[in-house]
Amino acid sequence: MDLDVQVLGLGDDAVDYREAWERQREVHAAVVAGERPPTLLLLEHPPTFTAGRRTRPEDHPLDPGGAPVIDVDRGGTITFHGPGQLVGYPIVALPEHVRVVDYVRRVEEALIGVCAELGVETARVPGRSGVWLRADEPGRGIRPERKVAALGIRVSKGVTMHGFSLNCDVDLGWFDRFTPCSIDDAGVTSLSSELGRRFTPADVLGVVERHVSELLAWAPYDATPDYEPRPDPARRGPRVELVRPGA
């Protein structure tokens, strides 16, 4: 079955996080009931911090800059959503042969493909979820290993919720207000920062839709080779939460 892609709001039409969360719940219930096809919601949010179930009080930003900090029911710790970041919520029933970790890897692979098509080389870092760029080689710069896309999901009754965020042209200063995903030995970047020209969420919308749709068609794929593994400083495991049937 084809993925039904819905663009809820970009730019000046950015969608309040709580409103989008309620929309997710409505779509999730319909997919669980078999009343609608698998769905991908794409949108931007106004500045918002979201705290997953493993967020500690000390993980919260001391100064959130006026942005709300919202406790959510996904796995993982704290992250930021805001203008210039494309957020995607795939709400899909997982086939029996696709485990939760396999699903996460498919979403990562889709975003790796998006970055490659736009001219940015990325890969996974075992031990840490998301999509990453290598640290600069000695003598060529001082930028650390850095994340361009983050993931945080929930699976309930066999159907996914929450999803990914791709930093297109987001103000990276927001990430200085906290430690993203509690990882304090790496950085955060954006497509615009890496490519030296502006890429908005609207600019990458079609590329993201195509790559995510391809990977969530569940066909076999060749995975991009990983970078070197890194420990999770918080030792909390990947940002994945499985809610048992009936939850």
Q: What do you get for the CA distance between the two ends of the chain, in Å?
A: 25
Q: Given the residues 40, 114, 150, 181, select the one marked as catalytic.
A: 181
Q: Is 181 a catalytic residue?
A: yes
| Rounded-to-integer distance, Cα 148 and Cα 187, Å | 9
Would you say how long the chain is, in residues? Answer: 247
CA 94, 99, 102: angle at the middle one, nearest 5?
A: 100
| Cβ neighbours, 10 Å, residue 121 | 11
Q: Measured in whole angstroms, how far is the alpha carbon of residue 111 from the centre of its chain?
A: 9
Distance between CA atoms of 102 and 59, rounded to whole angstroms?
28
Within 10 Å of residue 231's Cβ, how many Cβ atoms? 11
Beta-carbon count within 10 A of 29 CB: 15
Q: Which residues pair with 69 in a beta bridge?
A: 49
**Half-sphere exposure at residue 10, Cβ-oriented, CA atoms within 13 angstroms:** 18
Asked if residues 200 and 191 have their Cβ atoms less than 8 Å apart, the reply is no
Q: Quick count: other Cβ atoms within 10 Å of Cβ 244?
A: 8
16, two tokens: 């309040």
Catalytic positions, please? 181
